[in-house]
Structure 1
Amino acid sequence: MKLAINGFGRIGRTILRQILALPADSNIEVALINDIAPLETCAYLFQYDSTFGPYVGTVDVDETGLIVDERSIPMTQSSDLAQVDLTGVDVLLDCTGIARSSDVARRGLQAGAAKVLISGPSPAAEVTIVVGANEDSLGDARIVSNASCTTNALAPLLKQVDQIAGVHSAHMTTIHCYTNSQPMVDAPRGDLARSRAGALSMVPTTSSATHLIDVVLPHLAGRISGAAVRVPTASVSAIDLVATLEQEMGLEDFQAELHRAADTSPVLGWATMPLVSTDLRARPESLVIAGTETRLAGQNQVRVFGWYDNEWGFSARMLDVARLMSRV
């Protein structure tokens, strides 16, 4: 599978780290990276990462692009992707965060890529896919959204809970680390609360996952609400889900069924130790359920808590969906 990465920010760099860690026979080639930042800056930020630590191999540059562990990866610095030659690329991973309109999303196709996978919600996508929830809906779509990190954490969990006991209604709170959408010091933003310094306060705000669940799991549309609290940590977020079940279940039975579902899921994990957020850094699962945190009120209201590395896990799902797209 031949991939290209457009946008070498947090997700683009994390995806490259994961690709480079794959076995030699993984059959994934990074044909090109495009980013408007200077080549030397891209190399520096890839080599020295404040969240995941320094890259363990060698990173260098030449006139054509990056050289990582003696592996040459061409780089371009074009603000118009349509001007870049992507002939032969199976999937373009658009990690710019700006592919929200059809004309922008299609530039990868115009440049020669067979398909485009967008690293976030996008109304320009033909379909939104979350592995573990609705990957069977992929079809032959050429422009696909990988949803959001929180949707990737929530949707597989909701699907399993619904299969175990039926979800009548639910509310999700994501306790989310700060991101680049928040300022380091107080500065104007569209959302007044998000105008405050992200590393100094807990900030109540919204989550795109609330809308995306309706798209990914349409049979639950209108039954799931959600909100976010941005917290002053640099990585790893959490899901706190309270659901009213359609079937009455005892706590032990529910825990056993959920544990069994996590063990057989390709994207869910299970933890029994009393972990804290830093313990989950660089975990590839979409969500690691904290089994001992499960609670039951009465016979049909359940609380489930889980952790997710909103960058590493999401990037792992980008690669999973790209593999699915390249096989269609």
Structure 2
Amino acid sequence: MKLAINGFGRIGRTILRQVLALPQGSDVEVVLINDIAPLDTCAYLFKYDSTFGPYAGDVVAESAALNIDGHSFPMTHSADLSSVNLQGVDVLLDCTGIARTSDVARQGLSAGARKVLISGPSPAAEITLVLGANDDALGDAQIVSNASCTTNGLAPLIKVIDTVAGVASAHMTTIHCYTNSQPMVDAPRGDLARSRAGALSMVPTTTSATHLIDEVLPHLAGRISGAAVRVPTASVSAVDLVVTLGREMQASEFDTALRSAVAASPVLGWTDDPLVSSDLRSRSESLVIAGPETRQIGAQQIRVFGWYDNEWGFSARMLDVARLMATR
């Protein structure tokens, strides 16, 4: 599978780290990276990562390529991807965050890529896909959204609970680390609360998962609400979900059924250890359910808490979904 990465930011660089960690002889090959930043800057930010630590190998900026451990990755620096040669590319991973209109989202196809996978919500996508929730609906779509990191954690969890006991209604709060959409010091943003310094306060705000869950699991549309609290940590977020079940269940019965469903999921994990957020850094699951935090109140209300590395886990899903797309 030949991949190209458009946008060498947090997700683009994390995807490349994961590709480089694949076993020798892997079928995944990154044949091009495009980013508007200078090559020296891209090399530096790949080598020295504040979240995941320095890359252990050699990183060198060549004349028109990023050389990592002796492997040369050609780099272009075009704001208009349609001017870049992507012939032979199976899937373009668009990690720019700006592919929200059809003309931008289709630039990769115009340049020669067979398909485009967008690393976030996008109205321009033919389908919003979440592995472990609605991946059977992929079909032969050319432009696909990988949803959001929170939706990737929430949707598979909702699906297994719905399978186990049904979901009458639910409310999710994501406790989310700060991101580039927030300022480091107080500065104007559309959302007044998100105008405040992201590393100094807990900031109540919205989450795109609220409407994306309706797209991904349409039979549950209107039953699930959500909110977010941005917190002063740099990585790893959490889902705190309260569900009114569709039928009555004993606590032990629900716990056993949930553990079994999670074990069968390709993207969910479980821990019975009393972990904190930093323990989950670089975990590849979409969500790791914290067993000690699961609670049941009465016969039909449960609370489930889970951790997710919103960069590493999401990047792992980008590669998984790209593999699916490449086979269609």
Q: TM-score, normalised by structure 2?
A: 1.00
CA deviation profile, 1:247-294 (whole Å, cap 9, x unmatched): 111111111111111111110000000000000000000000001111
CA drift at 1:62: 0.9
Please name the residue that 1:36 is paired with: 36
Please name the residue that 1:249 is paired with: 249
SS in 1 for 2:136: helix
The code of the aligned residue for 1:321 comes to V
Instruction: Indicate yes or no: 2:221 matched with 1:221.
Output: yes
Give the Cα separation in 1 of the matches to 2:257 and 2:43: 46
Runs (4+) off by over 2 Å: none
Give the Cα separation in 2 of the matches to 1:245 and 1:261: 16
Of 57-66 and 108-117, more deviation after overlay is shown by: 57-66
Give the Cα separation in 1 of the matches to 2:109 and 2:178: 33
Instruction: Indicate yes or no: 2:129 matched with 1:135.
Output: no
Mark the runs of 5 or more structure 1 residues left unpaired by the alignment.
none
Give the Cα separation in 1 of the matches to 2:259 and 2:299: 19
Please name the residue that 1:294 is paired with: 294
CA deviation profile, 1:229-256 (whole Å, cap 9, x unmatched): 0000000000000000011111111111
Please name the residue that 2:154 is paired with: 154
CA deviation profile, 1:144-163 (whole Å, cap 9, x unmatched): 00000000000000000000
Instruction: Indicate yes or no: 2:83 matched with 1:70.
Output: no
Give the Cα separation in 2 of the matches to 1:69 and 1:239: 37
Give the Cα separation in 2 of the matches to 1:216 and 1:316: 19
Question: Could you tell me the percent identity over the aligned residues?
Answer: 77
The alignment yields a C-alpha RMSD, in angstroms, of 0.5
Give the Cα separation in 1 of the matches to 2:44 and 2:200: 27
The code of the aligned residue for 2:45 comes to L
Please name the residue that 2:8 is paired with: 8
Give the Cα separation in 2 of the matches to 1:257 and 1:230: 32
Mark the runs of 5 or more structure 2 residues left unpaired by the alignment.
none
Give the Cα separation in 2 of the matches to 1:236 and 1:31: 30
Give the Cα separation in 1 of the matches to 2:230 and 2:326: 35
Give the Cα separation in 2 of the matches to 1:38 and 1:44: 10
Aligned residues: 328
Please name the residue that 1:311 is paired with: 311
